Amino acid sequence: MDRNWTQFEGRNAGGWRLDSFLGEREEKAFFSGGDEAGAKAALVEVMEGGTPEADAAAASWSLARRFAHANLLTVHGTGTAELDGGNSFAWAALDLPEDDLSEMVPRRMLEEREVREMLLDAAHALEYLHNHGVVHGSVLPQNIFLTDGRYKLSVDTLSVADSGKRAADVRQLGATLVWLLSGGADSPSQRPSTESIAKLELPFREVAIGCLNSGWTATQMVAFLEGRYVPPVDELPQVSEPLPADPVEAGVPRAVAPRRVSSERWVLATIIVVALLLVMAYLLSARGGHDPAASSPTPDPAPTTGQQPSPYPGKGTADRGAPIAQGPGPWAVAVAAYGNRAEAQQRADSIRARWRQFPASVYPPSGTARRYLVVLQSGLNKEAAENLKQKAAGEGVSDDSYVTKLAAR
């Protein structure tokens, strides 16, 4: 129904002032406002109560109040209030944005740096939500806000849902990217055309293809945008975080979550897995089950009583410079990935020049590919690859190397 929302200017909803009516969209009115003390400016959203839309928004605001993340709008308060003498309205007080993507792009094209920042901030928010079993549901330009120099997602459409809806979030972000760079040629709520995707410059074309065609997760998108190796889905650690307690019910102050918390947990999980593999390899070797083909040609002397073997097979000086012998297999150790062969080859050459014991090369060795891996060594069995990864870390080659199985070519 049509309503004159300006009549509510100057009123109060749960301790938050409704100062100036900003506009309305999808049955929701927006006001600039603040708390009664005048210490905190806020965006106050108001909806007429008693409708399915208002109930869904209220549930989303209540869910969002549990989260504290740098790339999600913060819910400072939410509830219901009687604003016009008897009728109930749902309301929420949120961070006051400076702008949103749907308003920014018609005024000017974003610079490449700004596009990267927007993608990474939105991907971090999705990774955080998805790790907690929550989906956004509407990753569209009008729901991506610029606030205090950061891009933040709205919190009006959150819900607990399955992996299929998590994939839909990533696809929507990919479609929003195409809309942004194509000048609005394709609606962000629809799958963009192949022609529009093909016109994008790298690396944004690869991001769009990853989101729309390759089924990327938010974690894979974060890895790509941060310049890290993008592991296949079946090699990603399964992260499932419980919903945080409601800060009001728990009686504790809100604290902003670390910006890279999900990536830090991924690194920690990788370290734990590698440590377990090293222990298993050592135990198998002690029982005579070690594969001699994967052993170093010059084994370290047996430790004397009271000494412990080095956790890094190549850390000492005895085999410094000797390559890890390769047991037959499809495994390799990747240290970086690039969008073109020339950059990958330059990195491989620099590794070989500085660390002569590592025969770094580019995979695939010939032809064209979407990504070119810089691998320290290939043709290994998995145990030898894990040992090589640890040796590389000990020598300072890369802290972000990754054991992966290469496809036969």
Q: What is the pLDDT at residue 288?
A: 42
Domains and their CATH numbers in the chain: 5-94 (3.30.200.20), 99-242 (1.10.510.10), 264-298+311-405 (3.30.70.1070)
Calculate the CA dihedral of residues 185, 191, 195, 199 and round it to 10 degrees.
Answer: 70
Q: What is the pLDDT at residue 394?
A: 78
**Mean of pLDDT values over 363-391:** 84
- pTM listed for this prediction: 0.60
Q: Is the pLDDT of residue 11 over 50?
A: yes
Q: What is the pLDDT at residue 358?
A: 87
Q: Is the pLDDT of residue 120 over 80?
A: yes
**Mean of pLDDT values over 137-154:** 94
Q: Is the pLDDT of residue 370 over 90?
A: no
Q: Is the pLDDT of residue 173 over 90?
A: yes
221 in Cβ contact with 130 (< 8 Å): no
Q: Which of 388, 250, 383, 263 is nearest to 328 (CA)?
A: 383
Q: Is the pLDDT of residue 295 over 60?
A: no
Burial call 289-310: b when 16+ CB within 10 Å, e when fewer: eeeeebbbeeeeeeeeeeeeee
Q: What is the pLDDT at residue 138?
A: 94
Q: What is the pLDDT at residue 174?
A: 95
What does the angle CA 301 – CA 303 – CA 307 come to, to the nearest 5 degrees? 150
Q: Is the pLDDT of residue 109 over 80?
A: yes
Query: Mean pLDDT in the chain?
Result: 79
Q: What is the pLDDT at residue 252?
A: 39
Instruction: Specify the range with the lowest mean pLDDT, choosing from 172-176, 177-181, 234-238, 309-313.
Output: 309-313
pLDDT above 70 covers what percent of the chain? 76
328 in Cβ contact with 377 (< 8 Å): no
| pLDDT tens sequence across 327-346 | 456 888 888 877 788 888 98
Q: What is the pLDDT at residue 337?
A: 78
Q: What is the pLDDT at residue 250?
A: 45
323: preceding bond cis by omega (within 30 degrees):
no
**Cβ neighbours of residue 287 under 8 Å, at least 6 residues apart?**
none
308 in Cβ contact with 316 (< 8 Å): no
Q: Give the model's confidence band at 187: pLDDT under 50 very low, under 70 low, under 90 confident, else very high.
A: confident
Q: What is the pLDDT at residue 319?
A: 36
Q: Give the model's confidence band at 282: pLDDT under 50 very low, under 70 low, under 90 confident, else very high.
A: low
Q: How far apart are CA 403 and CA 235, in angstroms?
A: 10
Q: Give the model's confidence band at 281: pLDDT under 50 very low, under 70 low, under 90 confident, else very high.
A: low
Task: Please tell me which residue, 309 or 335, carries the higher pLDDT value.
Answer: 335
Q: What is the pLDDT at residue 290?
A: 39
| pLDDT tens sequence across 52-108 | 999 999 999 999 998 889 999 999 999 998 887 778 899 999 999 999 999 988 888
298 in Cβ contact with 319 (< 8 Å): yes
Q: How far apart are CA 128 and CA 146, in angstroms?
A: 18
Q: Which of 361, 396, 366 is nearest to 378 (CA)?
A: 361
| pLDDT tens sequence across 25-46 | 888 999 999 988 777 899 999 9
> What's the chain look like in SS3?
CCCCHHHHCCCEECCEEEEEEEEEECCEEEEEEEECCCCCEEEEEEEECCCHHHHHHHHHHHHHCCCCCCCECCEEEEEEEECCCCCEEEEEEECCCCEEHHHHHHHCCCCHHHHHHHHHHHHHHHHHHHHCCEECCCCCHHHEEEECCEEEECCCCCEECCHHHHHHHHHHHHHHHHHHHCCCCCCCCCCCCHHHHHCCCCCHHHHHHHHHCCCCCHHHHHHHHCCCCCCCHHHCCCCCCCCCCCHHHHCCCCCCCCCCHHHHHHHHHHHHHHHHHHHHHHHHHHCCCCCHHHCCCCCCCCCCCCCCCCCCCCCCCCCCCCCCCCCCCCEEEEEEEECCHHHHHHHHHHHHHHCCCCCCEEECCCCCCCCEEEECCCCECHHHHHHHHHHHHHHCCCCCCEEEECCCC
Q: Give the model's confidence band at 256: pLDDT under 50 very low, under 70 low, under 90 confident, else very high.
A: very low
